[in-house]
Amino acid sequence: MSSATTDIETFRQEARAWIKANLEPRPKASATGRPEREASTPEDIAKARVLQRKLFDAGWAGLSYPAEYGGRGLTALHERVWREEALDYYAPDFGVAGSVTFGAIGRSLVAHCTPEFCQEHIPKILAGEELWCQFYSEPEAGSDLAGIRTRAVQDGERWIISGSKIWSSGAYLADWAMCLARTDWSVPKHRGLTWFAVPTNAKGVEIRQIRQINGNAEFCEEFLDEVEVTEADVIGEVNKGWAVTQTMLVYERGAGEMGASMVEPRELAPDLVALARKVGRADDPAARQAIAKAHINDYAQYHLGHRIADRLRAQATPDPAVAAYGKLASGVLAPIRARLGMEVGGPAALAWAAGDEDGGRPALNYLNGRVTSIAAGTNEMQRNGIGERVLGLPREPSFDTNKPFNEVLSGARNWNSKVG
Amino acid sequence: MDTDVTEDQRALLDVSERFMGQTCPLTVVRDADQRNGDFLASYRRQAAELGWFSMLVPEDLGGGNISGNGVLDAALIAYKRGGLLQPGSYIGTNVVACAVAAAGSDELRKEVLGAMVGGETSASWAVASAGSNGEPDGGVTAEVTADGGLVLNGAKTAVQDVEASSWLLVTCRTSVGPAQALVSAGAAGVTVTELESLDISRRFAEVRFDDVAVAPSAVVGQPGASGDLIDRQLALAAVLTAAESVGAMDHELDMTVEYAKDRIAFGRPIGSFQAVKHVLADMSLAVEMAKAVVGAAARSLGDDDGYGVEAASIAKALVGESSIELAQNCFQVFGGIGYTWEHDQHLYLRRLTTDAGLFGDAAWHRERLCQLAGI
């Protein structure tokens, strides 16, 4: 047995013992390990902060974050072992804001910020004191993230930010935002971008929740009206924001494992089996095919996630186009998975008794089925990334890559399909 | 296929790939006349020297593998074989050798196993039958004789790469349940008829059994109590077939991507059009997913971790569907040139579609997953 294996086994024993002594068991997790309901109220967040603090104080927060910033400096394998051990216990649940904070944002900050910045923010993030959100997309720039129009203007040691952002998950619960702004309009689009840390309670920040098709309001839109931040709030380098974006996208795309369950799914699509039994279709060949398809999808997504995560770890600089495989898999399979639920449920999935949450779940999953095919870059963006950067296929002719951004906008209005 | 191949595995794969490229490149694959009996016998002996037929046989019976997981080693070779559409009974010989090692009589182990491992004879699993979609014991019925032997009657079809000297493992139905027998292709009452087939890189035969007497020593496993053995054989055949398909998918996608870069239309390489690029990206995802799942299934089955049989059905169902999809999409990208005999595209289309249907198609394995789960 190698020392690495011994180390992992010791770690597992320690984690198991601590979890058993300190966390509250929860009803057996669904086979996918996903929570039934996501944290969405300030009370949920307050509860999660207390629990996160407990983990942080005992050294179980930020396992793969650098030790100098309050993490443990361990590997992704340790993270996985922890997740496996904690699966049947209540862990801090910050909802989407949590995966955003500890994933794309935390990782990007560590990779690109100064030691002073990290010293200031990372320990607070790991302790549950700072919850972050993303001011990335705008009403007129989503998949085309480098096309954003929020502007930041330097004024001495201050930066003044104005514009509007949208699709910020959990922003109404967050303390800070990672905000992308254009700082130079006279250069091509990728070369005039800068990232800023913006406190969500700063003067001039207005956050509104958006009601979604599922009735929830977890998404937000923001209006930034001459919001002041300082030089110390710059993330990475001025006008070199696209380099930060490359890191951010790897994690935004789930580092290969988006949408995959935490443990190898071995139980045949338990949600659909229960549904088929409930509606009396467990012997119906069509329903059985649908159930097996769903399970095969779950199993494939789990193992693809591991494969892509391994590939990313083997790269000196993880390539967002490789992470795109996991994102695309999720974006393609999740809508199929949701449709299979509707197929198995039949009429019972179309109408159910008032207040019957269980009965309404296939429909809710169906409405949420296209989240990963659109959010964080559409399937089409992932296909471009894989096609161009992994397979090496040539790009489409571009209308904006080499032009100063201020000319791009006026040019687009007079677009006549002629390149150049 | 696997992201963490060991050095020993890498060495085996490299030498195997060289052997295939030199002995049986695609020019030979597409020429049935060159792939005659002498060629196949020589190919088999050379392959045996590389250890292709020993991986699923324990060391004390003359076998052995390099990583400790013989199924994974065999799947990695299968992947390489699939890329070059290799002929010969690789999967059949390995499956039959594995079954004989696990449940064969001492006589069989002594007389037959060594010849299979050493490449002196090949073996095929006579499992498919007309009118039964995937059920291993269809097509042939057997009477159990007083001394524990069998008398076989009926026919199996799509039996792969049967040579005159081949051993056939026949899975059949008796009054007490499924049974298996090892029969020589040349035995009295056995009629082998060559078939025409969609896949022209291999040979397929119908095998008829007319009152074929099987000695008790040639019965593999206990009649009526061979269910687990057959399940495992089917899982092994499914994983190795899926692995060959993944190799073929990978190779065909590479060919297609190269073509999309080279072929100019409307003043641009056609791969720059998103309509083409996105299809290829989807197919690249299909290959990554197939590699991940087949690798996981091979590990699971070889490690005997309690989920191998299920994982094999998952792999066969997933690959059975995505391989045909890939072959169809690549054909579309090639356009008219892909419809010509000279182009290699159709060899892959034929192979992938055939492999998808052998040892149970996607729908059959999906139903099987429900049954294995007790639903």
CB distance from B363 to chain A under 8 Å? yes
Do residues B121 and B167 lie in contact, with contact meaning Cβ atoms separated by under 8 Å?
yes
Residue A418's pLDDT is: 62
Residue A400's pLDDT is: 82
Is the Cβ pair B277, A292 closer than 8 Å? no
Residue A32's pLDDT is: 45
Cβ contacts of A298 on chain B, cutoff 8 Å: none
| A181 three-state secondary structure | strand
pLDDT digit string, tens, across residues B138-148: 999 999 999 99
Count CB-CB contacts under 10 A for residue A52: 26
Residue A31's pLDDT is: 44
Structure-block tokens of residue A77 = 């394998």
Place of tokens 């003044």: A160
CB distance from A77 to chain B under 8 Å? no
Is the Cβ pair B274, A380 closer than 8 Å? yes
CB distance from A311 to chain B under 8 Å? yes
Cβ contacts of A285 on chain B, cutoff 8 Å: 367
Is the Cβ pair B285, A299 closer than 8 Å? no
CB distance from A330 to chain B under 8 Å? no
CB distance from B289 to chain A under 8 Å? yes
Is the Cβ pair B292, A306 closer than 8 Å? yes
Q: Which of A227, A117, A224 is nearest to A168 (CA)?
A: A224
Residue A259's pLDDT is: 64
Alpha-carbon distance A282 to nearest alpha carbon in chain B (angstroms): 7
Averaged pLDDT, A394-412: 85
Q: Is the pLDDT of residue A124 over 60?
A: yes
Q: How far apart, in whole angstroms, are the C-alpha atoms of residue A44 and residue B144?
A: 69
In chain B, the residue whose alpha carbon lies closest to the alpha carbon of A293 is B366
Nearest beta carbon to residue A310 from set B3, B280, B311: B3
Averaged pLDDT, A367-384: 92
Alpha-carbon distance B269 to nearest alpha carbon in chain A (angstroms): 7
Residue type, B102: A
Residue A37's pLDDT is: 61
CB distance from B109 to chain A under 8 Å? no
Averaged pLDDT, A389-412: 87
Q: Is the pLDDT of residue A281 over 80?
A: yes
Structure-block tokens of residue B234 = 């089917």
Is the Cβ pair B314, A388 closer than 8 Å? no
Structure-block tokens of residue A112 = 């690109």
CA–centroid distance for B176 within its chain: 29
Q: How far apart, in whole angstroms, are the C-alpha atoms of residue B249 and residue B65?
A: 26
Q: How many CB pairs under 8 A join A and B?
A: 127
Residue A256's pLDDT is: 63
A284 compared with A9, residue with greater pLDDT = A284
* Cα separation values, A51 from A27, A38, B317, Å: 18, 16, 43
Mutation target among B266, B313, B314 for the A interface, most CBs of A within 10 A: B314
Average pLDDT, chain A: 90
Percent of chain A surpassing pLDDT 90: 70
Q: Is the pLDDT of residue A276 over 80?
A: yes
Residue B196, burial from CB neighbour count under 10 angstroms (0-12, 13-18, 19+): exposed
pLDDT band of A313, cuts 50, 70, 90 = confident
Residue B95's pLDDT is: 98
Which ipTM score applies to this complex? 0.95
Beta bridge partners of A227: A161
In chain A, the residue whose alpha carbon lies closest to the alpha carbon of B259 is A393
Cβ contacts of B276 on chain A, cutoff 8 Å: 393
CB distance from A313 to chain B under 8 Å? no
Residue B192's pLDDT is: 97
CB distance from A293 to chain B under 8 Å? yes
Q: List Cβ neighbours of B17 (8 Å cut-off, separation of 6 or more).
A: B80
Residue A312's pLDDT is: 86
Averaged pLDDT, A197-222: 94
CB distance from B6 to chain A under 8 Å? no
Instruction: Decide if A84 is catalytic.
Output: no
Cβ contacts of B365 on chain A, cutoff 8 Å: 292
Percent of chain B surpassing pLDDT 70: 100
Residue A257's pLDDT is: 66
pLDDT digit string, tens, across residues A250-262: 887 776 666 667 7
Residue type, A240: K
CB distance from B281 to chain A under 8 Å? yes
In chain B, the residue whose alpha carbon lies closest to the alpha carbon of A277 is B375
Nearest beta carbon to residue B280 from set A303, A391, A395: A391
Averaged pLDDT, A392-414: 85
Averaged pLDDT, A54-63: 94
Averaged pLDDT, A163-183: 95
Residue A226's pLDDT is: 98
Which residue ranges in chain B fall short of pLDDT 70? none
In chain B, the residue whose alpha carbon lies closest to the alpha carbon of A324 is B285
B256 compared with A5, residue with greater pLDDT = B256
Residue B312's pLDDT is: 98
pLDDT band of A33, cuts 50, 70, 90 = very low
Q: How far apart, in whole angstroms, are the C-alpha atoms of residue A95 and residue A169?
A: 9
Catalytic residue among A138, A218, A221, A252: A252
Q: How far apart, in whole angstroms, are the C-alpha atoms of residue A223 and residue A61?
A: 33
* Distance between first and last Cα of chain A: 61
Q: Pick the range with the lowest mean pLDDT from A24-33, A79-88, A297-306, A404-413.
A: A24-33
Q: Is the pLDDT of residue A5 over 70?
A: no
Averaged pLDDT, A288-300: 97
DSSP code at position A395: P
Q: pTM of the entire structure?
A: 0.91
Q: Which of A7, A26, A45 is nearest to A86 (CA)?
A: A26
A420 compared with A194, residue with greater pLDDT = A194
In chain A, the residue whose alpha carbon lies closest to the alpha carbon of B280 is A387
CB distance from B293 to chain A under 8 Å? yes
Q: Which of B355, B177, B362, B165 is nearest to B252 (CA)?
A: B355
Cβ contacts of A325 on chain B, cutoff 8 Å: 284-285, 288
Is the Cβ pair B317, A397 closer than 8 Å? no
Averaged pLDDT, A109-137: 95
Residue A247's pLDDT is: 86
Alpha-carbon distance A260 to nearest alpha carbon in chain B (angstroms): 13
Please report the DSSP string for A40-79 in residue order: -SHHHHHHHHHHHHHHHHTT-SSTTS-GGGTS----HHHH
A78 compared with A391, residue with greater pLDDT = A391
